[in-house]
Structure 1
C-alpha cells in the first residue's frame, strides 16, 4: 500500500468503520423490531410495517455493501468512494430512524413518545462511539435521527415535550465531544503507527541479533558453570560429612535448651527482619486502624514511628482509593497505589496485601508490604526517552546507508564507461601489462557495482512494506531454475521441486529469498560430478517449514553464526564468486515476515536451509 500519510490513515479508518458495520446492522434490526412491537397497538399497523421494512431493506443493502467492500482488492484506491458511500447509508438509516418522530403525530401517549426518544438517543450514542473514526459518518446519522424528534417536541409545546426537546439538543452537542476526542485519538494512533512501523521492525531485528549473541555467550558460561559445579559438589560432599558429625555432637549438648532458645531466637530473628526490612510493613485491623508499622513504613509516610499506631489507614489513601481499600481489605493481591505523606504529597507505591485469619477462620488483620517506587518510575521514564533516541538514531543510520549507496554509483558508472571506452579505443595502443591493469580496474568496478547493488537491495528490503498474498512457491522456484539453466546451458543439474508449495507472504520479497538460496545451491554445486538441488515443504505441529537443499560445497557448522551477517563469506572469492550480502538479505526478509531461518550443513557434502513464515 502506497500513498500519502493522510491517505493511509483514511484507509485504516475506513477499514475500521467497515469492520464495525455488522454491529450497527444488528443493532438496527433489534431496536427497530423492539419499537415495532412496542408501537403495534398504538398506531396503524401499516405505518409500522412500512417503517420496519424500510429498515430491513437498508440493512440488506448495507450487508451487500459490506460484502462488496471485503472483496474489493483495490480498497486503497477507492477509499474516498467507500467513505462517502457508508456515510450516505448511515444518513439514510438516520432518516428512517428520524421518521419515527412522526409516530408521535398518530397517538397522544407521552410515555411512548419518550421511549422512542430514549431509543433514538441510545442508537446515536452507539453510533458516536462505534463510528467516531470518521467525523462525517456519525454526524450523517445523528443529525437526521434526532432533529425531527426535537422539532416534533418543540411543536407539541407541553412542558414535558419542551424539556425533552432541550435535552435532545444538549445531547447532540455533548455527544460530539467524546466522539471528537475518539476521532482525534484514532487519527493520532494511526499516524504514529505508520511513522514508527519501520523503526520498530528494525529495532526488533537488532534485538533478535543481540539475543542470538547472548545465547552464544550463555552456552560458554554454562560450560564454565558446569566445571565449577563439579568442584563445588566435591567441597559440599566433604562439608556434609563434617557437618553431620558436628550436628550429632551439638544436638546432644543443646537438646534440653533447644525449644526455648529456638523460640526466643525465632522471635528475635523475625522482629529483626521486619524492623530492618527495605520495604515498608504495616498491619491494619478492623475499622482500618493501624496496628503496627516498621521504621521504613513510617519513613515512606513521613511520620515518626509512634505517631502512626491507631490512625485510620484510609487517611493515607487519595480520594479515588478510599472506598476501594474498604471493600478489598480482605483480598490477597499486589496493587499499585498512591499514599499521602504527612506533608500532603502523594508517593507511588506497590503493596503486597495478605489477610491473616485466626483459628476460627475469621478475618483478623491485613498485612501489607509496601515498596516506594518513586525512583523506579523515574528510571522507567528515562529508559523510554533513551529508547526513543535509539530508534531515531537507527532511522538516521538507515537513511545514511541508503544515500551513500546511491551516491557511490554515479562515479562508479563513469569509471566503468571510461574503462570500456579505453578497451575499445586504446587496447592496441597499450602494451600487455597496460591491458591487464585496465582489465583489473574494470573487473574491480564491476565488482563494486555488484556490491553496491546488493547493499541497495538490502536497504530496500528493510524499508519495503509487506503486501501479503498467497504465492505458489513451486512456480517461482521453477522459474528461477529455468533462468539459471539458460545462463549456464552446458550444466546438467538434477533439480527436484515439490508441487503446489504455497505460502502467504510478499510475492516480490519471497522471490528474492528463493533467488538467493537457489542461486547459491547452483553456484556451490558447480564442482560436483552429480549436482543435486531440491525445494519443498514439510508440515509439523508448528506449521509449514520450507527448505532448499543441495549436495554442494557445504561448510563447517561452527561458522554458522556468521552466515547471515552482511559481507561475511565462508568461501574465498577465487573459489566461489559473491558479495556476502545475499543471505543477509534473505535473513531480513524472513524476519520481516515474522519467521525464522536456520541451516544444517556438512563440509563438502552440501547444505539445507530451512525457513518459516
Structure 2
C-alpha cells in the first residue's frame, strides 16, 4: 500500500481482514520503496493514497502499469474530485474508495481481483483460439464479461455472460441479429466505423465506453474492445463488453455530491454575507448611538467646569475629572472594539513586504511617545514576508507600544525585535525588560478584554493583543508569549513561508 499515514494503513488492514481477506501487507511511502516492493514483494493488488508529501498516487499508478500491468490498482484516498476520479479510472486504476467509506473497500478489492482474474482468463482464451475453436468456446463461457463474435455485421456467437448482459432468454435470441441493433442509436455510427477499421486494417480496437440497448430496452453502460479474427475462414471481430453500470452510478453519485456541496457552500456564503451586514449595522450603531451620549457627558462636564468650577470644592472637581476620564476611556474602548471588528472583515491584500521597513515606520510614529525616556533598541535583520502591510503594521504597533508601556518604570528600557526562519514559517519576536507577567495566566493574554495588570498601573482596553492574534491567524500564523514577573516578556508571532525565498532586507 502506498500510504504515508501508518494509522490509515492499519485501518485498511483491519477493514480487509473484517471483510474475510487473509493476506500479507507492506506499506511504502516513497518511490524507491514502491519499486523495490514491486520487484521483491510482488503484490497481488496495489492500494494507494492520492497525494503524498514525497510521492504521487498517479506516479505510482504509472510505475505499476509499466512494471506489473496485470496487478490491480485501487486508489484509497481522503477525497477525490470528479475530474480526478475520471482521470484515475482512465489511467488504469480499477477503482477508488474514499477513506471515510472504507466499508466498501473489501467489495472493491474482491471486484478488482475478480477483474484481474478475468483479464488473465481472457488472455488464456485468446491464446487458446489459435489452436482450437472448440477450446475457445469452452473458455469464453467461463468469463463473467460478455463475449461475442461478429461476422459480416451479424452476431454469430455469444457467451452466457453476453446473453445475460443483453437480457435475452438464451443465445438463440441473439445469434443472427445485427450487432448494431444493440448499440445505442446515438453511437451506432461510431461503432460501425470502429468495426470497419478493425476488419479493413486488421487492428484491434482498445477499450472505449459505449452504451448498449438490451432486448428489454434498458440502457447499459459498458467498456467495449474488439480484436480481428477469422471465423470459418471469413474476417470477423471478437468483441468484449465489460459492464461498468455500477461504476457509472458511483460517478453520478460523485457528481451529485459535488453539486450538493456547491449548494451548501453557496448557502453558507449567503449566511456569512448576511452576518457581515448585521455586523456592519451593529458597528454603525456602536459608532453613532454610543458616541452621542459620551459627547454629551464630556461636553456638559466641560460646561460645568467652566461655569461652576470656582464654586466647587476639591472633592467635586475630583468627581468631575473622574467622569471625564471615564468618558474618554469609554470612547477609546469603542474605537478599539470597532477596530477589532473591522480586522475580521477587512480584505487581506497580501504582497511581499519588508518587515524592517514596517518596524522603522512604527518607530518614527512613536518617536514623540519616547521623548525624555532612555530606551535601548536592538533591532535585528528581519526577512521579507508575504502579508497585508497595513494589518502587519498594526501588529508591530501593538506589540512595540506594549513593550514601551510596560517598561515605563525602568530607568533604562530595552526593547529587542528579531526573528528566526524555519523551513515552514517566519517567527518574529518583540522582547522587553519590563514588568513581565505570570506564565500561569499566559493563556489569557490574547483574549478580548483580558488584562493581567491593573488599569490604574497601566492604561489600556484589553483589545490590542486580541487584534494581534486575529490578524496573524488570518495570515495563517500563530501567536504566543513568554514572560516572568519583573523580568520582562517576549511576544512571538509567525507567518507561513510561501512562494520563492526572498533575501533579508535591513
Band the TM-score falls in, shorter-chain normalisation? 0.3 to 0.5
Q: Which has the higher strand share?
A: 2
Q: TM-score, normalised by structure 1?
A: 0.40
